[in-house]
Amino acid sequence: MGFGRCVMNCIVSTEQFYFQMGILGLPNVGKSTFFNVLTKSQAQAENFPFCTIDPNESRVPVSDIRFDWLVEHYKPASRVPAFLNVVDIAGLVKGASEGQGLGNAFLSHVSACDALFHLCRAFDDDDVTHVEGDVNPVRDLEIIGTELIKKDLQYLEGAIDKVGKLAIRGGDKSKKPEHECLLKVKKLLEEDGRPVRLEIWNEKEIEILNHHLLLTAKPIVYLVNLSEKDYIRKVIFLLFLISLFTAEFRILFFNVHLFLKNKWLPKMKAWLDENDPHAACIPFSGTLELKLMDMPEDERANYLKEQGTTSALEKIVRTGYKALQLEYFFTCGKDEVKAWTIQKGTKAPQAAGRIHTDFEKGFIMAEVCKMDDLMELGSENAVKAAGRYRQQGRNYVVEDGDVILFKFNAGAGLTSKKK
């Protein structure tokens, strides 16, 4: 207790509750195509490096059968799901940390994101050039990882000097733990070549590192862009029925590579096992998803059924949302069903504050109904009759999918302002 593997155990964002996933990768690996189908937009997606210069931003609804159930049950005038904010970052190239390509500008876009989709290409296509001359996703993973480490080391050089002046020469003892922590990070990156997110950190170190927001501290979800043919093979479909969110899935997925006939999958498994063993890795086909996007809904459903496959987009969105360590609770009624985004570990008063600051200031209690109970029993009255409706106080930690009615003192906010 008190230790965490990843700095992002305590996410810090420049805007409260505005967290975003960046799409990261080399040029021409399918990032803009993925962004287009994910957001159903038409960002420029041409066959040449740096077709995306300014990052495209959009938000994607998070699919959830619980939300769909509430909408069907209450038939509200307004329905607001949870959203994942996504940014399409222009392709990085080898030497970006030294200014190659559009280098430092792109890396600043990475810095503005809270977590990353790292997209790599595992398909051959003579019509789509590769910036390195040939397809090799393992090499591409190494290039991106190296550039992020180099950029962090550049940042640390200045940060260590600045904090060191205060801690050592200035005699500010309060800065000594920060100075020692930054030196530890420098050693990790420089000598071990390991990203910050893979190290074990104590609570104080996590607090310090969240202040610095290093690139290698950001959670990563790996996306493998396959050809449509490889993706729709029956083995992949069967494996999609297994959870995509566990390391066990990745082991199973890659252990059947002989059936998939994609030469890069076993090599990627070996790289991930050694370099980022706890990360989620999801295969998809940008070509297939683009084709599906242009189909009418009934035609799309028939095509997927005929091919014996499924779209990976919903799973990718949910995995990205979880990588940001976000969850949501519901408020519902005839007027509106809404999912409210919070960070994991949020207590009831702070969750109430997401709706209105006065809800937090005047918090009395939270009346909580679990979605499993509501879906099983059919109504809030039935949940109450079964004794499963709960009244929770200030220390209650809101759980993902809670249906909540907050009770608060309406005058508390006014009283506080007068003081």
* 30 is an annotated ligand-binding site residue: yes
* 29 is an annotated ligand-binding site residue: yes
* 33 is an annotated ligand-binding site residue: yes
* 31 is an annotated ligand-binding site residue: yes
* 226 is an annotated ligand-binding site residue: yes
Whether 184 and 268 share a structural domain = yes
CA distance 399 to 58: 27
Whether 301 and 349 share a structural domain = no
Do 352 and 359 form a contact (C-beta atoms < 8 A)?
yes
Is 260 within the bounds of a domain?
yes
Q: Pick the closest to residue 348 from 359, 358, 332, 339 (CA basis).
A: 359
Average pLDDT, the chain: 83
Whether 364 and 250 share a structural domain = no
Is 20 within the bounds of a domain?
yes
- DSSP letter for 86, please: E
Per-residue pLDDT tens for 155-182?
Answer: 999 999 999 998 887 778 889 999 999 9
Tell whether the model's pLDDT for residue 411 goes beyond 50: yes
* 28 is an annotated ligand-binding site residue: yes
Residue 257: both structure tokens together:
């590579």
CA distance 369 to 333: 13
What's the pLDDT score for residue 171?
78
Residue 115 backbone zone (phi > 0: left; psi -120 to 50: alpha; other: beta): beta
Whether 292 and 371 share a structural domain = no
Please give the order of strands across the beta sheet that includes 220-225. Answer: 56-61, 83-88, 20-24, 115-121, 220-225, 280-284
78 DSSP β-pair partners: 336
Whether 384 and 268 share a structural domain = no
Is 329 within the bounds of a domain?
no
Per-residue pLDDT tens for 356-392?
Answer: 999 999 999 999 999 999 999 999 999 999 999 999 9
Alpha-helix runs per DSSP H in 97-215:
103-111, 137-164, 176-187, 203-212
Per-residue pLDDT tens for 303-330?
Answer: 998 888 889 999 999 999 999 999 999 9
Is 327 within the bounds of a domain?
no
Whether 308 and 349 share a structural domain = no
Whether 187 and 248 share a structural domain = yes
Whether 233 and 318 share a structural domain = yes
Whether 357 and 310 share a structural domain = no
Domain range holding 215? 3-63+83-322
Total number of domains in the chain: 2
Whether 191 and 94 share a structural domain = yes
Whether 142 and 43 share a structural domain = yes
**Helices 264-275 + 247-255 axis angle, to 10:** 150
> Are β-strands 83-88 and 56-61 bridged in parallel, bridged antiparallel, or unpaired?
antiparallel
